[in-house]
Amino acid sequence: MDDLESLVVTEQEVLKILRDLRNRENLKLDAAREYAQQLRHNSEPGTDESKRAENIFRHPINAFHFITHHTKTWEALREGLRDPATRDSLAKIQDLKNSTKFPDDEDRIGTAHAFWRLQATYKFHPKDVFNGRIPNTRPTPPFTAREAFIVGQKQAQDSNFLSALQYLETAVERYHEENVLRPWHGGRLVELLDWLQFAVWHSSRNASRALEISLMIQQLQPTMENLEHNIKTYTDYRANLTEEQRAEVDLPPKEYKETAEDGHYERLCRGELNVAPRVHKHQRCYLEDYKNPVLLLQPIKTEVAHVDPDVFVLHDVFLDSEIKRIRAVSSGVLKRANVISKGTTGQVTSSRISKTAFLADSRDPSIASASSRSGLVSNLDPKNAEPLQVNNYGIGGMYHSHFDFFNDPDGHGLHLIKPDQGDRMATFMVYMTDVEVGGATVFPRINLTIYPEKGSVAFWFNLYRDGVPDIRTLHSGCPVLAGSKWVANKWYHEVEQDKTRLCGLQPDSPQEEVVLL
Ligand SMILES: O=C(O)CCC(=O)C(=O)O
Ligand SMILES: [Fe+2]
């Protein structure tokens, strides 16, 4: 090689090193730019911190943007700032972040899962979600490629393939649109394509499209795990099809239908079912005072929401200031409540639904006062009741159908019944927030939907007068679509309550027929 030739080769190598350096620096800058952009977005001028925080967590997509930002985008920035020149800045940010509780991976996965629950209950399309246009809520910025990927991946893991496909296809599209600005996830395109081929195959057995995507992966990363196996599977599958079958399989994937779960419960959550006119006829409102001097001055505004079983909504029982105090007192002690629930495909998923805490009357005067008010208003004796239980549901938070009584049909709760207390005879549930969208309490067996109204109370008896559980009281808390939901339960037990709610010899013994021995 003569000198001139080797000079050209050397120049090429220098150019390569400089290009690598530029790419690395760009990666860092892009990570910093993306992170900063979200911070700017979160700090709308003119709003105070608590309003800002509330605004972010009132909308599922804003909450998701925020959580992804503090998990995935932060990971990318941390990677970018690791080298010696920028390590100091990283340490400073890390110090600041260590002093506060930031969302973690569990929050991210929980929120990603919530989109499925919200879609399936309130009947909207994935494109409403990734375009930031969820019906009945404020428009928000759309999902980024990364966000569409996170939700699509979660839905594919949960075997909701048709919906997953919508998110993953969009993630690829947005990846290409964003790529100019954000090379950070260049390396993750193969991962995204790998989930896409998986969702394509499982949603429609479209071997041609799955093969096409697998061949794209091969171009990018020939060593990708399972790649060869997948290519062989799809090739063999196609080879064994008749012409006719192939034409059918190669059709575009089935469109995602918004009617994924259209049961009774979902329809009630959407407010689509009305109670029968027969029941309506008995609905009424009245002022109740139980001849109690305190209530004579301020009788309870009682609405009969359902007759037999009787469910009441008691209006304006708690003041905003009282609620504010109860929420403040319970905030510090709330713990995540997990529920194991079955997905549509039968697999068991653990989903975060709410945070909960039992608060003794001794904890704060506001708790004691709520307990005694519940006794006054329900005309039951709070001495035989559980401590106040406070529940806070986040976005997508819900409570699956259940009975409040312990003597459930499977007998699982029997051990919780103490002979000196008895079963949970009545539920007194305080709504401590209005909920912007969603979050109703529904009774699927009696077609009843109650919408939360701050300061009001839902009240019903879980047992017949003879103490037998009333299975018509099955109820659920619908997923919160926007806003936040706080409720507080006071559960009254049977023993000692017969002074005001007389027990009977028959399930439906009316008050007058009771024989006191
Ligand atoms: O949140 C709701 O609407 C229902 C809550 C409930 O049923 C319970 O906590 O037992
Ligand atoms: Fe309940």
Torsion, CA 304, CA 310, CA 316, CA 318, rounded to 10: 180
Which residue did the predictor score with more confidence, 268 or 107?
Answer: 268
* Of residues 411 and 512, more confidently modeled: 411
Mean pLDDT along residues 14-27: 81
**Average pLDDT in the chain:** 83
Token reading at 339: 């529920």
149 lines ligand 1 (CB under 6 A): no
Residue 321 has pLDDT above 50, yes or no: yes
In this structure, the chain runs to a length of 517
- Pick from 319, 315, 320: which is nearest to 303 by CA? 315
Q: Supply the pLDDT for residue 236.
A: 93
Measured in Å, residue 442 CA sits from the centre of ligand 1 at 9
Q: Is 399 near ligand 1, meaning CB less than 6 Å away? A: yes
Query: Distance from the CA of 502 to the center of ligand 1, in angstroms?
Result: 26
Q: Which atom of ligand 1 is nearest to the CA of 489?
A: 9
What per-residue confidence (pLDDT) applies to 254?
A: 62
pLDDT (0 to 100) of residue 352: 46
Measuring from atom 10 of ligand 1, which residue has the nearest CA? 404
Ligand 1 atom with minimal separation from the 452 CA? 3
Collect contacts of 68-71 with beta carbons under 8 A, ≥24 apart.
68/108, 68/144, 68/146, 68/147, 68/150, 69/35, 69/38, 69/39, 70/102, 70/103, 71/103, 71/104, 71/105, 71/107, 71/108
Ligand 1, atom 2, lies closest to the CA of 477
- In Å, how far from its chain's centre is CA 477? 12
Residue 34 has a pLDDT of 74
How far, CA to CA in Å, does 329 sit from each of 84, 363, 367, 467? 45, 8, 9, 35
Peptide bond before 103: cis, by omega within 30 degrees of 0? no
Position 512 pLDDT exceeds 70? no
Dist CA 483 CA 368 (whole Å): 28
DSSP assignment of 322-369 equals HHHHHHHHHHTT-EEEEEEEE-TTS-EEEEEEEEEEEE-GGG-HHHHH
* Share above pLDDT 90 across residues of the chain, in percent, rounded to a whole number: 38
β-sheet bridge partners, residue 393: 354, 485
Q: Which ligand ends up closest to the CA of 462?
A: 2
Ligand 1 atom showing the smallest separation from residue 391 Cα: 9
Non-local (6+) Cβ contacts of 359 within 8 A are 329, 330, 333, 367, 387, 388, 389, 390
ipTM reported for the complex surpasses 0.95: yes
* Structure confidence at residue 44 (pLDDT): 63
Predicted confidence band of residue 315 (pLDDT cuts 50, 70, 90)? very high
At residue 92 the predicted structure's pLDDT band, cuts being 50, 70 and 90, is: confident
What pLDDT, in 10s, does the model give residues 291-314?
Answer: 788 788 788 899 999 988 999 999
Atom of ligand 1 nearest to the CA of 440: 3
What's the whole-number mean pLDDT along residues 231-250? 85
Is residue 364 a contact partner of residue 333, using CB atoms and an 8 Å limit?
A: no
**Nearest residue to 52 via CA among 34, 39, 35:** 39
Mean pLDDT of 77-87: 81
Instruction: Decide: 404 in ligand 1 pocket, CB within 6 A.
Output: yes
Q: Comparing C-alpha atoms, which of 386, 380, 395, 387 is closest to residue 360?
A: 387
Q: Which two tokens stand for residue 249?
A: 């399989």
The domain spans of the chain are 10-249, 278-509
Q: What is the Cα–Cα distance from 419 to 114, expressed in whole angstroms?
A: 40
Q: Is the dihedral of CA 373, 374, 375, 381 positive or negative?
A: negative
For residues 436 and 110, the model is more confident at 436
What are the pLDDT digits (tens) for 265-280?
888 998 887 655 555 5
342-372 burial code (b ≥16 CB/10 A, e <16): ebeeeeebebbbbbbbebebebbebbbebbe
- Atom number of ligand 1 nearest to Cα 475: 7
Give the pair of three-digit tokens for residue 75. 């990971």
Rounded to the nearest whole angstrom, what is the distance from the C-alpha of residue 271 to the centroid of ligand 1?
17
Q: 391 in ligand 1 pocket by Cβ < 6 Å?
A: yes
Confidence tier at 30 by pLDDT (50, 70, 90) = confident
CA 101 – CA 72 distance, rounded (Å): 16
* Cβ(497) – ligand 1 distance below 6 Å: no
- Contact of 186 with 179, CB cutoff 8 Å: yes
Residue 229: predicted pLDDT: 96
Tell me: the pLDDT tens digits for 380-398? Answer: 988 899 999 999 998 888 8
Q: Ligand 1 in contact with 155 (CB < 6 A)? A: no
- What CATH code would you report for 278-509? 2.60.120.620
Give the pLDDT of residue 74.
Answer: 81
Closest residue (by CA) to atom 7 of ligand 1?
Answer: 476
Q: What class does CATH assign to 10-249?
A: mainly alpha
Give the pLDDT confidence score for residue 260 in this predicted structure: 42
The atom of ligand 1 lying closest to the CA of 404 is 10
Average pLDDT over residues 233-258: 77
Assess whether the C-beta atom of 484 lies below 6 angstroms from ligand 1: no
Q: Which atom of ligand 1 is nearest to the CA of 402?
A: 7
The alpha carbon of 402 and the centre of ligand 2 are apart by a number of angstroms equal to: 6
| Atom of ligand 1 minimally distant from the CA of 458 | 3
Cα-to-centroid distance, 475 and ligand 2 (Å)? 6
Q: What angle do CA 282, 283, 288 make, to 5 degrees?
A: 110
Q: Residue 182 pLDDT > 80, yes or no?
A: no
Contact of 287 with 295, CB cutoff 8 Å: no
- The whole-angstrom separation of Cα 154 and Cα 115 is 10
Contacts of 101 (CB under 8 A, 6+ apart): none
Say if residue 251's pLDDT is above 90.
no
The pick from 313, 354, 399, 416 for probing ligand 1's pocket by mutation, whose C-beta has the most ligand atoms within 8 angstroms, reads: 399
Cβ 452 under 6 angstroms from ligand 1: no
The predicted-structure confidence for 434-477, as pLDDT tens digits, reads as follows 998 999 999 999 999 999 999 999 999 999 988 899 999 999 99
Mean pLDDT, residues 134-161 = 92
Residue nearest to atom 5 of ligand 1 (CA): 477
As a whole number of angstroms, the distance between CA 162 and CA 372 comes to 51
pLDDT value at residue 63: 86
Separation of alpha carbons 17 and 307, rounded Å: 79
Q: What is the 3-state secondary structure (H, E, C) of 81-105?
A: CCCCCCHHHHHHHHHHHHCCCCCCH
**For 103-119, b where at least 16 C-beta lie within 10 A, e where not — what string?**
beeebbbbbbbbbbbbb
Q: What pLDDT, on a 0 to 100 scale, did the predictor assign at position 42?
A: 65
Kindly tell me if the per-residue pLDDT of 423 is higher than 60.
Answer: yes
**Strand pairing category for 441-443 and 285-288:** unpaired
Q: What is the pLDDT of residues 155-178, one digit of tens each?
A: 999 999 999 999 999 999 998 887
| E strand spans, 329-484 | 335-342, 348-359, 388-393, 399-402, 424-431, 437-438, 441-443, 448-450, 457-461, 475-477, 480-482
Rounded to 5°, the CA angle 16-17-23 comes to: 90
The pLDDT confidence band at residue 287, using thresholds 50, 70 and 90, is confident
| Residue 509: other Cβ atoms inside 10 A | 16
In this structure, which ligand is nearest to the CA of 479?
A: 1
Residue nearest to atom 9 of ligand 1 (CA): 489
Cβ–ligand 1 distance for 487 under 6 Å, the answer yes
CA 342 vs. chain centroid, Å, equals 15
